[in-house]
Structure 1
Amino acid sequence: MAKRNLYLDIKSVDEAAELYLSALKKTLDIQYETIPVVESLERVTRKATYAKYCSPLFNASAMDGIAVISSRTDEANETNPVILKEEEDYLVVDTGDPIHPPYDAVIMAEDITEVEEGVKIFASAAPWQHVRPIGEDIVAGEMILPSNHKIRPIDVGVLLSAGIIDIEVVKKPEVAIFPTGTEIIEPTETPADGSIIESNSRMFENMVTRAGGIAHRFPPIIDDYEQIRNHVAEAVGRYDMVIINAGSSAGTEDYTVHVLRELGEVLVHGVAIKPGKPVILAMVKGKPVVGLPGYPVSAYIGFENFVDPVLAEMCQTPVRKNPVVQAHVSKRLVSSLKHKEYVRVKVGKVGDKMVAAPLARGAGAAMSLVRADGFCVIEQNSEGVEAGEAVQVQLYREPEEVENTVVVIGSHDLILDVMADMMPESHKGMFVSSTHVGSMGGLMALKRGEAHLAPIHLLDETSGEYNIAYIKKLFGEGKISLIKGVGRTQGILVKKGNPLGIKGIEDLKDCRYVNRQRGAGTRVLFDYKLKQLGIEPSSINGYDREATTHMAVAAAVGSDGADAGMGILSAAKAMDLDFVPIGPEEYDFAIPEQYLNLPHIQAFLEILKSDEFHRRLDELGGYTYEKAGEIVAI
């Protein structure tokens, strides 16, 4: 039986990072190189740099005009102008021209009047007026830049002005990156059953570059002990650091920790962090070697916590830090006492407070990283945070962007992605952020003051009316308005060709069904139709299996994870599925009246009414938009 890797000594994040950096500093030998100044942007100086020349190199005119001998202008004034003769009393000069004795002042061109004899002046010139003396900006021998200084664009200009054309800087650390896994394939290959397209290493490449290093990414290595050992052993001899992706966990084919124990010393295997527990921190021949988990979110968090600090030490730069804001979390977050947990969140400013809406928490949910505005960090030994509680959020966007974001929480539709795409293009500096919790979840978010807009499509069984009855029931009248959105067709998503011959909801009892989550408008409609037909929910195989978006339902049906699911026509088209119409519905936006005049809400309304938005809806298919953007007071 193959041997498993057991986490025998799990360390906290801070303890693991401190232990690793301490070991690194004992062996780290910072390397330097001399490069042209013109290529030195963002590089770190080894030592103080001193000016070779003065700037200006000579006494120079600061204006276009005439260079004069100041003593010959003493008597000039408005009532007693003085006439000066060229070559005798003055020389014509442009900005930057040298000023040589006996000339010691400059009069601006606009302060002279040309006459036949030369020029007439109406005011005296003080000695050194409008003259830049030699060394006014830089004096030869003075320090231009200190040691350990990251070179900025202005620094490059000043260095060149001071006669410095080459400069000694910290050498960029070179990092070898090895993806591992027998199931891993390159993005250019055609996936087979069980294949996983490798992408983490490309993410690492760019993170290494951003941190100031040079990345060397290698093709995937299969799960073979000898191959992994040989590649790592060779890389340690050639590069300054090695990253091994995947194979760091406790599986029987996770060889990384055994390889690193054979080649060097494993200081840490397992960190109290979620996601990202199976991190390996090792030293091999004085070089740092880090094993990162295979799940994308775990890999990302592990890199930020353990690779970034190592690269900062090698580059002699501060560790990059994200801005931190205080926000109120939109729902309760339960966390384990054992781990420091990083929860991906969408962030926006609603009223006078920042709101953080949690996204998917799975370690493999890479899109949650793309959608996230930042991380809410729940410290180790905390059981979590309650809804509405203030938390610290590490932002991955600028705070100004967050403040100009329309926060949308509620029912999912593909049009929200279209609007998020159009907003920054048509209204610079404004954004749309959407979180999908279902129609009822969106209305409750409005009630708690956590969103600007709640997209809803809730059918009132009594009146057959959409949305308004629910708003009146929850909020009364005069507080919430309804922005009309789109009409859309709800139906049953089935495989291409409809192999089971599903014609309506009554046929769903004989198939594998995937449902929407409780509180979703689609779920409300489905329950209403079941009640009309006298069908017990328990008779539907998969009634309790929930998906949070229309596209998740479509993906389940398209991948043979289900035979059918309720959703919208545009989702069926996007996944090339067949569609059995059930009926039209109204997808609208509930909004507290005090937000209607906000600039980013007005921008949102403009997009809803725009021809370009309507054109994109036609491309998606299944939408009507005659009333889009109309405001209904309730």
Structure 2
Amino acid sequence: MFDFKNSKTKAEALSMLLEKCLFNKRIEIIPISEAIYRIPAQNIYSCNTLPVHRVSMMDGIAVSSSFFKDGMPETSNWAAGKEYTRADTGDDFDDRYDAIIAIENVSFDERGKLKFKENLIVKEGVCVKKRGSTIKEGDCVLKAGIPIRPSDLAALAIGGITDIPVIKKPVVAFIPTGSELIAAGTTPQRGQNVDSNSIMAKHMILEMGAKPLCYSIVKDNPENIGITLEKALKEADIIIINGGSSKGGEDFTIKVLENKGEVLLHGVTAGPGRPMSLAIIEGKPVINLPGPALAAYYGLDWCIRGIVNQYLDLPMIKRQRVSAVLAEDMFCPKSISFLCKINVEKRSDGTYMATPVPFKASSIGMCLGTNGQFISEIGEGDYKKGDAIEIELLCSKEFINCYKHSL
């Protein structure tokens, strides 16, 4: 039963859960074309040596340095393909030549005869890029555990890597429960509510770098919940049951979890979403997220993201932050870490104004659609109009999320 007194902090809850998780991490080989933002499972080393032979370092002409050993040579009778040849950046050139003269130091007279700038010094190897100076076979081109960025794809291609060993994405099952729920896109009737959390969870899980597995709505029935949970345990690495987490007459989920495995806690000092429960079943984390959309969002953002990051050996994201002045008082209960949704506006003087959108006094669309958020610490309490606070920026017309792990 949900118990305020025995609630754990977010950090404590995650620590308890992760200590008992038996993650079955797997490696899969994927083509380079699909590797963006995936997590390499091991260091990756070049198969290529580039350049294969020495090449020109810049646009210019290739010459033999022997012509310049006694100073500037007479070039009026030089011919292309004999005493010199054109060699632009990255070009191979005939082994008769061992130096490059930059094109800026070369000109041709009215008869097309070659001329050099005065006092030009030409020695063997000048402006010549040596074999292997770009990359050598065996050079490390990508370290394990770092999400693969577009620039890393270029390094892999240079190294001749076409197939990448990566950590297989954890499968995160999402089970929406509630006899009142109907699928999104269906017109609700009296006593019904739209399952909005499935689509939100699916795309938050994708953004975390995991693979979502969203089940159909399960009615408030312990047997049905148990059957779907058994299915999810066979198909997923992390399981979320959404709804049925509090003390209502149809809140059966905690009993199902107790019958299937070990319930670690039922209650966190984080809101909205305090009645969250965490369990371990067959070594897998099973999280019961509260049903309200904002509570589900908060639980997904700190708890599920924390589990996925642990699976992929990634740090938690750090969103861009700005300091903003509160336009109104902001309620933050002292007893919990509290998610406050914020609309942030940049003023003409370059400073930011923050307007709280309290979830109990605002429409859910207004709460979910803010362009910023603030998470209070336990013991902080309320903030007053005029206080300066640090806001996390979210996607909006003005601000774009600066983090991305996977698509």
TM-score normalised per structure 2:
0.89
Could you say if the C-alpha distance between residues 263 and 156 of structure 1 is closer, same or farther in structure 2, counting changes exceeding 3 Å? same
Q: CA separation in 1, counterparts of 2:81 and 2:351?
A: 71
Q: CA separation in 1, counterparts of 2:216 and 2:376?
A: 36
Whether 1:211 aligns to 2:205 is no
Whether 1:176 aligns to 2:173 is yes
The aligned amino acid for 2:354 is A
Could you say if the C-alpha distance between residues 316 and 373 of structure 1 is closer, same or farther in structure 2, counting changes exceeding 3 Å? same
Could you say if the C-alpha distance between residues 226 and 6 of structure 1 is closer, same or farther in structure 2, counting changes exceeding 3 Å? farther
Whether 1:268 aligns to 2:265 is yes
Q: CA separation in 2, counterparts of 1:360 and 1:99?
A: 70
Whether 1:136 aligns to 2:130 is no
Q: CA separation in 2, counterparts of 1:208 and 1:75?
A: 70
Determine the structure 2 residue equivalent to 1:97. Answer: 91
Give 1:365 deviation, angstroms.
4.0
Whether 1:339 aligns to 2:336 is yes
Determine the structure 1 residue equivalent to 2:378. Answer: 380
Question: Residues 363-378 of structure 1: matches in 2 within 5 Å?
Answer: 365-378=363-376
Determine the structure 2 residue equivalent to 1:151. Answer: 148
Q: CA separation in 2, counterparts of 1:55 and 1:399?
A: 44
Residue-by-residue CA offset, 1:253-282 (whole Å, 9 max, x unaligned): 111111111111111211122211121111
Q: CA separation in 2, counterparts of 1:297 and 1:364?
A: 12
Q: CA separation in 2, counterparts of 1:108 and 1:378?
A: 61
2:355 to 346, 352, 357: 357
The aligned amino acid for 1:358 is P
Question: Residues 327-476 of structure 1: matches in 2 within 5 Å?
Answer: 327-350=324-347, 351=349, 353-362=351-360, 365-397=363-395, 401=399
Residue-by-residue CA offset, 1:551-589 (whole Å, 9 max, x unaligned): xxxxxxxxxxxxxxxxxxxxxxxxxxxxxxxxxxxxxxx
Question: Residues 616-627 of structure 1: matches in 2 within 5 Å?
Answer: none
CA contact (8 A) 1:377 1:392 kept: no
Unaligned runs of 5+ in 2: 401-407
Whether 1:54 aligns to 2:52 is no
Residue-by-residue CA offset, 1:576-626 (whole Å, 9 max, x unaligned): xxxxxxxxxxxxxxxxxxxxxxxxxxxxxxxxxxxxxxxxxxxxxxxxxxx
Unaligned runs of 5+ in 1: 403-634
Determine the structure 1 residue equivalent to 2:160. Answer: 163
Could you say if the C-alpha distance between residues 383 and 149 of structure 1 is closer, same or farther in structure 2, counting changes exceeding 3 Å? closer
Q: CA separation in 1, counterparts of 2:91 and 2:323?
A: 56
Corresponding residue pairs, total: 396
Residue-by-residue CA offset, 1:269-312 (whole Å, 9 max, x unaligned): 11122211121111111111111111111110111111000011
**Deviates further, 276-285 or 388-397:** 388-397
Q: CA separation in 2, counterparts of 1:349 and 1:93?
A: 53
Q: CA separation in 2, counterparts of 1:209 and 1:102?
A: 57
Whether 1:259 aligns to 2:253 is no
Could you say if the C-alpha distance between residues 152 and 48 of structure 1 is closer, same or farther in structure 2, counting changes exceeding 3 Å? same
> Aligned to 2:240, what secondary structure does the other structure show?
strand
The aligned amino acid for 1:384 is D
Q: CA separation in 2, counterparts of 1:285 and 1:19?
A: 16
RMSD: 2.6
Q: CA separation in 2, counterparts of 1:20 and 1:68?
A: 69
Whether 1:243 aligns to 2:211 is no
Could you say if the C-alpha distance between residues 339 and 65 of structure 1 is closer, same or farther in structure 2, counting changes exceeding 3 Å? closer
Could you say if the C-alpha distance between residues 88 and 100 of structure 1 is closer, same or farther in structure 2, counting changes exceeding 3 Å? closer
Could you say if the C-alpha distance between residues 118 and 42 of structure 1 is closer, same or farther in structure 2, counting changes exceeding 3 Å? same
Give 1:8 deviation, angstroms.
6.4
CA contact (8 A) 2:180 2:192 kept: yes
Q: CA separation in 1, counterparts of 2:351 and 2:116?
A: 63
> Aligned to 2:301, what secondary structure does the other structure show?
helix
> Aligned to 2:145, what secondary structure does the other structure show?
coil
Could you say if the C-alpha distance between residues 226 and 331 of structure 1 is closer, same or farther in structure 2, counting changes exceeding 3 Å? same
**Deviates further, 243-252 or 203-212:** 243-252
Residue-by-residue CA offset, 1:446-500 (whole Å, 9 max, x unaligned): xxxxxxxxxxxxxxxxxxxxxxxxxxxxxxxxxxxxxxxxxxxxxxxxxxxxxxx
Residue-by-residue CA offset, 1:107-147 (whole Å, 9 max, x unaligned): 34451427879644444533223322111121222221222
1:190 to 181, 187, 191: 187
Q: Which has the higher helix share?
A: 1
CA contact (8 A) 1:73 1:82 kept: no
Question: Residues 222-237 of structure 1: matches in 2 within 5 Å?
Answer: 222-237=219-234
Give 1:205 deviation, angstroms.
0.4
CA contact (8 A) 1:83 1:120 kept: no
Could you say if the C-alpha distance between residues 339 and 7 of structure 1 is closer, same or farther in structure 2, counting changes exceeding 3 Å? closer
Determine the structure 2 residue equivalent to 1:417. Answer: none
Identity of aligned residues (%): 30
Q: CA separation in 2, counterparts of 1:273 and 1:163?
A: 48
The aligned amino acid for 1:311 is V
Give structure 1 regions of 4+ aligned residues with deviation exceeding 6 angstroms.
114-118
Give 1:15 deviation, angstroms.
1.9
Give 1:91 deviation, angstroms.
2.8
Q: CA separation in 2, counterparts of 1:399 and 1:186?
A: 29
Q: CA separation in 2, counterparts of 1:361 and 1:344?
A: 8
Give 1:158 deviation, angstroms.
1.2
Could you say if the C-alpha distance between residues 58 and 13 of structure 1 is closer, same or farther in structure 2, counting changes exceeding 3 Å? same
**Deviates further, 152-161 or 345-354:** 345-354
1:17 to 6, 10, 14: 14
The aligned amino acid for 1:209 is L
Determine the structure 2 residue equivalent to 1:86. Answer: 80
Give 1:242 deviation, angstroms.
1.1
Answer 1 or 2: higher relative contact order, Cα 8 Å, separation at least 6. 2
Q: CA separation in 2, counterparts of 1:189 and 1:130?
A: 69
Larger radius of gyration: 1
Give 1:182 deviation, angstroms.
1.0
Give 1:364 deviation, angstroms.
8.4
Q: CA separation in 2, counterparts of 1:302 and 1:287?
A: 18
